[in-house]
Structure 1
Amino acid sequence: MLVDFVYEGGRSVVGPLLAHLGASAAVVGLVTGAGEASALALRLVSGPLADRTRRFWSWTIAGYAVTVAAVPLLGLTGVLWAAGALVIAERVGKAVRSPAKDTLLSHATADVGRGRGFAVHEAMDQVGAILGPLAVAGVLAVTDDGYGPALGMLAVPGVFAVFLLLRLRARVPDPAVYETPEAPGTAEARLPWAFWAYAGFTAVTLTGFATFGLLSYHLVEHRLLPAAAVPVVYAAAMTADAVAALASGWLYDRLGSRTVAALPLLSAVVPVLAFGGSTWLAVLGALAWGAGMGIQESTLRAAVAELVPARRRATAYGLFAGVAGLGTFAGGALTGVLYDRSIPVLAVTVAAIQAVALAVLLASRRFRGKRRFRYPVRRR
C-alpha cells in the first residue's frame, strides 16, 4: 500500500513532468513503454535468480528500495535524460521484486487462504494507488514550486515502507514456516503442465481484454464525459478493482479455480457496455473493467502457488508475468485496431476470444486434477 502510494503518485504526473523537461509525445511514449517492457521482461531473469539464491527478502527489499528512491528523485532532476532513466529505473525495481514478493506472499497466505491473502494485498494496493495521485494533485494545487515538493513528499511513505520490510524480515526471516515442508523429490526440474495450461488461459483471456486507455479515449472522443471527469471514473474503477479482488479471493478459497471463470465473462461484457453511446453504460463498462483488473491482480496470481512446487514459485511467477504481459500487449493492440474498424466487430471478436479462454481454463483444470501442489498448512 505504501509503495503504491509512492509509485502511482509519481506515475500520475510522469507525462506532464517529461513534457515540462522538453519531451515530445514520442519520447514520453518511448520512455514509458521501455519502463513497462522492463517491468515485465526482466522478471524472466529475476524469478529464476530468486529461486536459485533463495534470498527472497533481499530481492524484495532491493526492488522496493529502487522504486522508493527513484520517484522522489524525479522531482529533483531538471534534465530530461535523467528523468527518463529514473522512470525506467522505477519499473526495473518492480521487475526485481515482484517474483520474490509473490513467493513470500504465497508462503504467508497459506495460513489464511491464498485467495483471501492475495485479495487483501490487491485491495491495499488500490488504496495506495488512489491516495498517492490524490496527494500529489493536492500538493501541486497548493504550491507553485513545480513537481519537486509533490514528488519529494512521496519519500516519507517510501522510507516507512522500507522500515516495515526490514522489520518483517527480522521477525519472519523464512516465511516458508507457514507451510509444511515438501516431501523429498517434490521440487521437480520442470514446471508442471497444469501451470503452462493455466498460463495459456491467462494469455488468451487477456488478449481479449481492453485497456482503460481505450475506454477513456471513447469517453472523451464521443463526448460522453469531459476529460476532467475521466480520473474520477478511473478512481471508481479502482474501487471496483479492490471490491472484486476481495470477493473473488474469498470465493477462490471456497470454490477453487472455478472462480477465475468470472474474468472471461467480465472481459466479454466490457466492450458491450463501455463502447456504446450511453454515458451510464460506459461508466458501468469501466466498473466491469476495474472488477476484471481486481481478479487479474489477485486471484489469478493466487492460483499459481497451487500449481507449482514451492522451490519453483519465483520462476513460475516471473514466467507468468511475462505471459500475462504478452497477452496484455496483444489485447491492447487488437482491441484498438478493431475499435477503429467496427465496434460491433470488436464486441463479437472479444466474446469469441473469451469463449476460447473458458475452454482453455477447462483444459487447465483437467491437468490440475492430475497433478496439484497443495500442501497442508503449518499453523503458527
Structure 2
Amino acid sequence: MKRRLIWGPVFGFGLVSLAADVVSDGARPLAGPLLAQLGASALLVGLVTGGAEAAAQGLRLVFGPWADRTRQYWTFTMAGYALTAVCVPLLALAPVAGASGLGLACALIIGDRVGKAVRSPAKTVLLAAAAKPVGRGRGFAVHKSLDLTGALLGPLIVSAVIAATGLMSAAFAALTIPAAVALSLLVWLRRRVQNPGSDRPPPADTAVGPRSDAAGADAASPASKPASVFSGIFILFAVASFFWSAGLVAFGVISFHLTTAVAVPVSVVPLLYAAAMGAAALGALASGVLYDRGGAAVLLALPVLIAAVPVLALARDTALVLAGVLLWGIATGIQDSTVKALVADLVPERRQGTAYGVFAAFEGGGALAGGALYGALYDSRPLLITAVAVLQAVALVLLVASLWMPRRTV
C-alpha cells in the first residue's frame, strides 16, 4: 500500500502527459508535411520547427522564475496544457484557410510549443517533488516512459485517420478527443496533489544528490555537493545543452526529408515517429536506471548519439533513415528525462522552477540555431554532418568538464 501511495502521483502525472502527448506528438510528425503541402521551403520548415522548439525551451526562462515567485505551479501547468489542447486541433483549419493557411499553421505549431514552455517548469517542479521518495532517476524515467507511450500512440492514431480519410485535417480534428481527456485527468489530479511548499515555509537552499551512499559519492555525478542555481557546474552543464540541442534536428526537418527526398507516404511518417518514441522510452528508462545506480556519466553518450543522427536520418536509403530516426528517439528520451533529473539534483527545491527555465533557455537557443543550421545546410549534407559533429565535440568537452568539476574542487 505504501509503495502504491508514493508512486501514485508519479503515475498520475505520467497519465496526464500520456494523453497530452497523444495530441502534441500526434501532430508533431505532420508539421513538415503540412508546411510542405502549404508551400513552405526547407529553410522555412527548419525555422518554424526550430523556432517552435526554441519557444518551448527558451520561454521557460520567463515562466520558470514566474512560477517560483508566485508558487502557483498548478496554475502554470494547467494553462500550458490548455494551450496545447486548443492549438493542435485547430491545425485542421490550415489546409482550408486559403492564402492564410501557411501563416495560421506556423502560428499554431509555435503556439503548441509555447504551451509546453508555460507548463514544463512548473510541472517538472511538481514531478520532482512527487518523484523524490522513489528516486528521481527512476521517477523521471517512469514518467517519461508513460509520456512517450502517448507520443507513440498519437502518431499511430493520426496515421490511421489519414489512411482512412486521406486528409491531414481529419487527423488534427481527431486529436480533440485526447485533448479533452488530458484536461479532465489534470483537473482530477489537481484535487489530489498540492503545490510544493504550500503548507510550509520554502526549504533551505540545499540540494540532494542522486545518491547518498558511498557508491554514489564515487560516481561521476556533479550533484555530490550543494549548488546554487548559477553555480559554475550548472552553467557549464547548461552551455553543453546549447551545443547538443543545436545538433539535435527537429523532427519536422526529418519528416520534410522523408516526404520530399525519400518519397515516404505521409501516412507512414507518423508510424516512423511512433517507432522513434518507442526508442525514446527505452532510452529514458535505461539512462534513468543507470543514472540512479552509477551517476551522471551516463549522459556522456548523448553527444555521440546526436552526432550520428544527420548521417543516418538525412540519407537517401530508407533503412539508414529508419536507423537515424531510432537514434534520434533515443537521444530525445535521454534529453527529456535523465537530463532533467540531474538538473533537479543540482539545485535547491525552491529554485527548481527558475533552474529549469534557465536551463531550457540554453536548450531553446540551441534548438533555434539548429533549426536554422539544418534548414540552411539541408542541400549540403557533408557540410551539415561536419557542423553537427563539431557542435557535439564541443558539447562533449563541456559535459565532461561539468561532470568532473566537483572532483577537482573538493
Band the TM-score falls in, shorter-chain normalisation: 0.7 to 0.9
What are the superposed Cα offsets for residues 268-309 of structure 1, whole Å, 9 maximum, x if unpaired? 333444456654344323322221111111111111101111
Report deviation, 1:38.
Answer: 3.5
Shift in CA distance, 164/370, structure 1 to aligned 2, threshold 3 Å: farther
How far apart in 2 are the matches of 1:17 and 1:338? 21
Letter of the structure 2 residue corresponding to residue 112 of structure 1: V
Instruction: Indicate the residue corresponding to 2:272 in structure 1.
Output: 233
Contact 2:32/2:253, CA 8 A, preserved across alignment: no
Shift in CA distance, 114/184, structure 1 to aligned 2, threshold 3 Å: closer
Q: Which moved more, 1:323-332 or 1:229-238?
A: 229-238
Contact 1:191/1:312, CA 8 A, preserved across alignment: no
SS at structure 1 position matched to 2:295: helix
How far apart in 1 are the matches of 2:257 and 2:31? 23
**What does residue range 35-114 of structure 1 map to in structure 2 within 5 Å?**
35-75=52-92, 79=97, 80=100, 83-84=104-105, 86-114=108-136
SS at structure 1 position matched to 2:230: coil
**What does residue range 211-226 of structure 1 map to in structure 2 within 5 Å?**
211-213=250-252, 215=254, 223=262, 226=264
Instruction: Indicate the residue corresponding to 2:141 in structure 1.
Output: 119
Instruction: Indicate the residue corresponding to 1:132 in structure 2.
Output: 154
Q: Which moved more, 1:127-136 or 1:350-359?
A: 350-359
How far apart in 1 are the matches of 2:253 and 2:91? 28
Contact 1:201/1:358, CA 8 A, preserved across alignment: yes
- 2:398 pairs, out of 356, 360, 367, with 360
Report deviation, 1:141.
Answer: 4.5
Report deviation, 1:32.
Answer: 5.8
For the aligned residue pairs, the C-alpha RMSD in angstroms reads 3.8
Report deviation, 1:128.
Answer: 1.4
User: Is 1:317 the equivalent of 2:334?
Assistant: no
Letter of the structure 2 residue corresponding to residue 59 of structure 1: F
Instruction: Indicate the residue corresponding to 1:294 in structure 2.
Output: 333
What are the superposed Cα offsets for residues 161-202 of structure 1, whole Å, 9 maximum, x if unpaired? 22222222222213469x997446889985222211110111
Shift in CA distance, 31/232, structure 1 to aligned 2, threshold 3 Å: closer
Shift in CA distance, 266/34, structure 1 to aligned 2, threshold 3 Å: closer
More relative contact order in 1 or in 2 (CA 8 Å, sep 6+)?
Answer: 2
Shift in CA distance, 313/370, structure 1 to aligned 2, threshold 3 Å: farther
What are the superposed Cα offsets for residues 89-139 of structure 1, whole Å, 9 maximum, x if unpaired? 433322211110111111111122222222222222222122223323434
Shift in CA distance, 160/197, structure 1 to aligned 2, threshold 3 Å: same
Shift in CA distance, 284/154, structure 1 to aligned 2, threshold 3 Å: closer
Report deviation, 1:310.
Answer: 1.1
SS at structure 2 position matched to 1:328: helix
Shift in CA distance, 221/306, structure 1 to aligned 2, threshold 3 Å: same
Instruction: Indicate the residue corresponding to 1:377 in structure 2.
Output: none
Which ranges of structure 2 fall in alignment gaps of 5 or more residues?
1-17, 208-225
Shift in CA distance, 371/4, structure 1 to aligned 2, threshold 3 Å: farther
Letter of the structure 2 residue corresponding to residue 135 of structure 1: I
Q: Which moved more, 1:183-192 or 1:124-133?
A: 183-192
How far apart in 1 are the matches of 2:259 and 2:307? 22
Q: Which moved more, 1:296-305 or 1:130-139?
A: 130-139
Shift in CA distance, 359/37, structure 1 to aligned 2, threshold 3 Å: closer
Instruction: Indicate the residue corresponding to 2:189 in structure 1.
Output: 168
The normalised TM-score by structure 2 is 0.75
Instruction: Indicate the residue corresponding to 1:25 in structure 2.
Output: 40
What are the superposed Cα offsets for residues 253-276 of structure 1, whole Å, 9 maximum, x if unpaired? 111110100101212333444456
Letter of the structure 1 residue corresponding to residue 309 of structure 2: V
The normalised TM-score by structure 1 is 0.80
Report deviation, 1:140.
Answer: 4.6
User: Is 1:263 the equivalent of 2:302?
Assistant: yes
How far apart in 2 are the matches of 1:100 and 1:36? 18
Shift in CA distance, 240/163, structure 1 to aligned 2, threshold 3 Å: same
SS at structure 2 position matched to 1:171: coil
What are the superposed Cα offsets for residues 220-250 of structure 1, whole Å, 9 maximum, x if unpaired? 6765x64455444333222211111111111
Identity of aligned residues (%): 48
How far apart in 1 are the matches of 2:40 and 2:32? 9
Instruction: Indicate the residue corresponding to 1:191 in structure 2.
Output: 230
Contact 1:41/1:322, CA 8 A, preserved across alignment: yes
Report deviation, 1:341.
Answer: 3.8
Shift in CA distance, 268/76, structure 1 to aligned 2, threshold 3 Å: closer
SS at structure 2 position matched to 1:147: helix
What are the superposed Cα offsets for residues 333-363 of structure 1, whole Å, 9 maximum, x if unpaired? 44555564452x5545544433332221122
SS at structure 1 position matched to 2:191: helix
Report deviation, 1:34.
Answer: 5.9
How far apart in 1 are the matches of 2:48 and 2:370? 21
Contact 2:53/2:364, CA 8 A, preserved across alignment: no
Shift in CA distance, 37/65, structure 1 to aligned 2, threshold 3 Å: same
Contact 1:72/1:155, CA 8 A, preserved across alignment: yes
Contact 1:108/1:175, CA 8 A, preserved across alignment: no
Count matched residues.
Answer: 366
Letter of the structure 2 residue corresponding to residue 259 of structure 1: V
How far apart in 2 are the matches of 1:91 and 1:241? 19
Instruction: Indicate the residue corresponding to 1:283 in structure 2.
Output: 322
Shift in CA distance, 334/37, structure 1 to aligned 2, threshold 3 Å: closer
Contact 2:302/2:334, CA 8 A, preserved across alignment: yes
How far apart in 2 are the matches of 1:238 and 1:48? 30
